[in-house]
Amino acid sequence: MAISNVGIVGAGQMGNGIAHVFSLAGFDVLLNDISAEALENGMVSIKANMSRQVARGKITDAEMAAALARIRTTETLSELGPSDLIIEAATERETIKQAIFEDLLPHLTPDTILTSNTSSISITRLASRTDRPEKFMGFHFMNPVPLMELVELIRGIATDEATFAAMKEVVERLGKTPASAEDFPAFIVNRILMPMINEAIYTLYEGVGSVKSIDTSLKLGAHHPMGPLELADFIGLDTCLAIMNVLHEGLADTKYRPCPLLTKYVEAGWYGRKAGRGFYDYRGDEPVPTR
């Protein structure tokens, strides 16, 4: 399956990062979102991130210009239909993802491969709502996409070998490393990472340590580049809660119960960096712990 043009649904942090790496790797990209403002903001992010790569000598000005020229934007979802590959990178809510795929179906070519960048939702279940479960896969990029080397490839129960092989080749063309994961809640990375973050929140909730002491302990004591609470803010506390809920519901094990403090922060709208507040307050010159 020769993949040359790619449709991406969602121009947020993940979607624009995916568009960034595909365009640099020589793919033609059509980036979709429901609003012109989201598309404009997505392109601003792509240009800023590529400019940083130029400044660091990772790419040339000519490579940046060529990559940006390969990206088009549209507010019309159906225009993605002729793409060889479609990557859904919308909000981590199953009903939204299902609606996107259902709206796309009448416009697809017979050979179009459908994928989801979901970090936790069942690929088999998403695929079952389409007309091509054999050509449907999980295609999970890590955040931030331009910097992170890994892509999880998740086969649903019906995914055929040709689709898996095609997606593995695409990942390698992007210069990233594929990791094959089975279709169980949260796959590999988040199955391990999110309970660690959740436990760090319990450690804060129970008063074992402060935000600063917990993050410092993991950075210096375990040599993590970011503390778990800082990382949670970076990922988005709403996303962390959604993944913990998928783990808790999908595996029916109390060890995955989301910490009540995580739920409380999400209820307050304190989602982390993107909201200006989470376990840190980002509204000043320097982040300040909120507990």
Q: Please, what are the domains in the chain? A: 5-181 (3.40.50.720), 190-289 (1.10.1040.10)
Q: Are 25 and 173 in contact (CB under 8 A)?
A: yes
Q: What are phi and psi of 198, to 5 degrees?
A: -60, -40
Residue-level pLDDT at 142: 94
Give the torsion sign (CA, 95, 125, 78, 106): negative
Q: Which residue, chain included where needed, has tokens 């993944």?
A: 243
Q: Which of 119, 120, 122, 198 is catalytic?
A: 119
- Polymer length in residues for the chain: 291
Residue-level pLDDT at 97: 97
Q: Are 30 and 74 in contact (CB under 8 A)?
A: yes
Q: Which of 88, 94, 152, 230 is catalytic?
A: 152
Q: Which of 16, 23, 49, 190 is catalytic?
A: 190
> Catalytic site residue 140?
yes
> E strands within 95-149?
113-116, 136-141
pLDDT in tens, 241-283: 999 999 999 999 999 999 999 999 999 999 999 999 999 999 9
Chain center to CA of 123: 14
Q: Which of 20, 92, 122, 140 is catalytic?
A: 140
All residue ranges of the chain with pLDDT < 50 are none
Q: Are 179 and 239 in contact (CB under 8 A)?
A: no
Say whether 207 sits in a helix, a strand or coil. Answer: coil
Distance CA 235, CA 151 (A): 16
Q: Are 283 and 276 in contact (CB under 8 A)?
A: yes
Residue-level pLDDT at 54: 98
Distance CA 132, CA 110 (A): 9
Q: Are 139 and 153 in contact (CB under 8 A)?
A: yes
- Angle, helices 13-24 vs 36-55, to 10°: value is 50
Distance CA 104, CA 79 (A): 9
Q: Kindly report the pTM of this predicted structure.
A: 0.90
> Catalytic site residue 152?
yes
- Tell me what percent of the chain is helix, strand and coil, each rounded to the nearest 5: 50, 15, 35
The pair of structure tokens assigned to 9 is 């649904």
Residue-level pLDDT at 2: 87
User: Which residues neighbour 160 within 8 Å (Cβ) at sequence distance 6 or greater?
Assistant: 134, 135
Instruction: Characterize the bridge pairing of strands 113-116 and 85-88.
Output: parallel
Residue-level pLDDT at 120: 87
> Catalytic site residue 223?
no
What's the number of CA atoms in the CB half-sphere (13 Å) around residue 203? 19
